[in-house]
Amino acid sequence: MKNCSASKNRVARRVKAIAWSAALAAAITASAAPPAHAQRVTPPPVPDNLKVKEGNTAFLEGHAFGTQNYVCLPSGSGVAFALFTPEATLFRDNDKQIITHFFSPNPSEPNTNPAVVTPEMIRATWQHSRDSSTVWAKLDQPSTDPAFVAPGAVAWLLLSRAGVQDGPTGGNILSATTFIQRVNTSGGLAPSSGCTSPADIGKEAFVPYTADYIFYRADDGADD
């Protein structure tokens, strides 16, 4: 009986030791692993006017699939398609959804466009799919350089932060964003037909496009 009890005690101690070792290994692995949103990003070559200034590093990239949405409006003495919003979903290389992209009012910026009835400026918006952190950005520079931009594709862009907001539970994956590049575009240009006379005003066109969006943040934690 004594031997049986001793044997059980040895087994119990061994099980505890194994469990403790496994827990320690898991803790070490977790502490050594990068944050879940960390990503190694290597931006592609871009035209000179789209280069992000020194002191900012790419930290996140998303592959966008969606549409550029246009509406036919008066323009000068005629009419023309005008972009009223993109609608796109951004994915990682593993096809995991990470961000949605659209236009929305920027709470950090009062509206100065008399043609838009809203107290806040409408800006390009990216919202993280997991923590709902959001960045609004304004256009700095476009490029249609044929050495980079494919025929029939929307321009490559450099945008700078116009506002950020943490998610409702404090998520901040996108809150440190300083600049965004839109690169590797295909499709998305406004149609060449369908908006030629006043009778076409109000017509909409949803044009498929793809692009890569690259997000930058300041190296020292400063705004930019």
Helix, strand, coil share of the chain (percent; to 5): 15, 45, 35
CA distance 220 to 208: 38
Q: How far is CA 80 from CA 10, 73, 186, in A?
A: 83, 6, 21
Beta bridge partners of 101: 88, 126
Residues 8 and 112 in one domain: no
Query: Is residue 127 a contact partner of residue 89, using CB atoms and an 8 Å limit?
Result: no
Asked whether residue 10 falls in the same domain as residue 62, the answer is no
Residue 21: which domain range? 1-33
Confidence bin at 51 (pLDDT 50/70/90): very high
Q: Which residue has the higher pLDDT, 18 or 148?
A: 148
In a domain, 41, yes or no: no
Quick check: is 40 in a domain?
no
Question: For the chain, what is the radius of gyration of the CA atoms?
Answer: 25
Per-residue pLDDT reduced to its tens digit, 161-217: 999 999 999 999 999 999 999 999 999 999 999 999 999 999 999 999 999 999 999
Q: What is the pTM (predicted TM-score) of this model?
A: 0.81
Looking at the domain assignment, is residue 149 inside a domain?
A: yes
Asked if 89 and 195 sit in the same domain, the reply is yes
Q: What pLDDT band is residue 40 in, cutting at 50, 70 and 90?
A: confident
User: pLDDT for 59-117, tens place per residue?
Assistant: 999 999 999 999 999 999 999 999 999 999 999 999 999 999 999 999 999 999 887 88
Looking at residue 97, its pLDDT comes to 98
Tokens at 33, concatenated: 């692993």
Residue 164 lies in a domain: yes
93/190 same-domain check = yes
- Confidence class for position 4, pLDDT limits 50, 70, 90: very low
Amino acid 221: pLDDT = 61
* pLDDT on residue 126: 98
Asked if 178 and 123 touch (Cβ cutoff 8 Å), the reply is: no
For residues 163 and 132, membership in a common domain is answered with: yes
Same-domain status, 27 and 90: no
- When divided into structural domains, the chain yields a total of 2
Q: Which of 32-41, 55-64, 149-158 has the lowest mean pLDDT?
A: 32-41
Question: Measured in Å, how far apart are the chain's first and last C-alpha atoms?
Answer: 73
Residues 1 and 72 in one domain: no
According to DSSP, the residues that pair with 206 across neighbouring strands are 69
Specify whether 194 is located in the same domain as 117: yes
Q: What distance in Å separates the CA atoms of residue 67 and residue 89, rounded to the nearest whole number?
A: 10
On whether both 22 and 63 belong to a single domain, the answer is no
Strand bridging mode 156-165 / 177-187: antiparallel
